[in-house]
Amino acid sequence: MRKNNAQAYLFLSPFLILVTLLYILPAILTVVMAFTGLDSSFEWEFEGIKNFRRVFRDPNTPKIIINTIIYVATCISVTMVVDLFFAIMTTHFIKTESTASFFKGVLMIPMITPAVVYSVLWIWLLSSNSGGFLNKIFMGITGSQTPVNWIANYPMQVVIIAKIMTSIAFGTINFSSAIKAIPENQFKAARVDGAKEWEIVKSIIIPNLRFHILFIALWETLGLLTDYTTILLITDGGPGIASEVWALSAYHKAFISAKYGYGAAISLLLIAVVLVFMIAISMVSAHMERREADAR
């Protein structure tokens, strides 16, 4: 086909302008900024690797790294199991389309709730006085007279559960459509052989979904590493740094303390980790595309 550069770039120009200005340029600036002491006076003073040395000398850094690992690892493992469970329930067992859609719709409610409302919902649910929703239930069951300050006592557990609730729908719906795509004769053959439901799940559904599982796990991990809105709104990393994660600490350094250079250095270190996940995701999705093309 004939090349028509002018026409093509006419179509592409708004995309290229916006992406260059607010994606690529900021990416380059982040790298540069990480080596400066940029603060609220916005003077570019190059300080070499001083910011990075500061990150590793900060006594809070080990705690933040451990928090991040606990947060990501717990969220991802629980989410994957719960996603698979709900996908199998609403696709393999509940085959009436309208009933299945209803349940999937309910699972989507936390996902579509705006983050600001969602966080207040949790703060209300767990409020520390004796009139709090969970405290009423807790004191009713245990007969205890002292209300529990849930968010202050269990900040990590709270943000982990809140985050898991919002991510269930995405994986469930993806797995559900992947289960629907499994050829029906595989199930029929298993039933003829007298396979129990658990065996069907273990030896048909999960093996068929293995690349989907890998893809969603990597994708969600990328999101968990970088998206800190839920934590920001519920605990703000507190009390102290009890629920501070890496991405949120970059936000705090830059936007609360106005240490932009330092914040950029923290972001840059996270970007290095993120790149590894990006490569892994590209490899998995390229593999999935090849498999799909082969199947056709």
Site string for another protein, 257-296 (x = CB under 8 A): ---x--xx--x--xx--x---x--xx--------------
Distance of CA 73 to the CA centre of its chain: 11
Tell me which of 114, 140, 143, 194 binds another protein, using CB under 8 A: 114
Interaction of residue 103 with another protein, rule CB under 8 A: yes
**Binding residues for another protein, how many (CB under 8 A)?**
93
Residue with smaller CB distance to another protein, 59 or 272? 272
Q: Which amino acid is at 142?
A: T
Can you tell me which of 3, 57, 210, 296 binds another protein, judged by CB under 8 A?
Answer: 3
29 contacts another protein (rule: CB under 8 A): yes
Residue 142 in contact with another protein, rule: CB under 8 A = no
199 phi and psi, to 5 degrees? -70, -35
Tokens of 4: 């028509």
- Tally of CA atoms within 13 A in the half-sphere of 91 that contains its CB: 20
Least gap, CB of 67 to another protein (angstroms)? 18
User: Of the candidates 155, 166, 127, 158, which has an alpha carbon nearest to the alpha carbon of residue 138?
Assistant: 127
Q: What is the largest CA-CA distance in the chain?
A: 80
Q: What is the DSSP string of 152-165?
A: HHSHHHHHHHHHHH
Q: How far apart are CA 236 and CA 232, in angstroms?
A: 4
Among the listed residues 45, 53, 65, 255, the single contact to another protein using CB under 8 A: 255
Nearer to another protein, 148 or 168 (CB): 168
Binding mask 148-187 for another protein (x = CB under 8 A): ----------------------x--xx-xx--x-------
Q: Please identify which residue in 39, 47, 58, 227 interacts with another protein, judged by CB under 8 A.
A: 227
User: From the CB of 198, what's the least distance to another protein, in Å?
Assistant: 12
Question: Residue 59 or residue 140: which is nearer to another protein going by CB?
Answer: 140
1 binds another protein (CB under 8 A): yes
**DSSP codes, 127-190:** -SSTTSHHHHHHHHHH--SSPP-HHHHSHHHHHHHHHHHHHHHHHHHHHHHHHHTS-HHHHHHH
Find, among 71, 109, 31, 106, the residue nearest to 232 by Cα.
71
Contacts of another protein in 51-80 (CB under 8 A):
none
Report the residue number, 57 or 95, with the smaller CB distance to another protein: 95
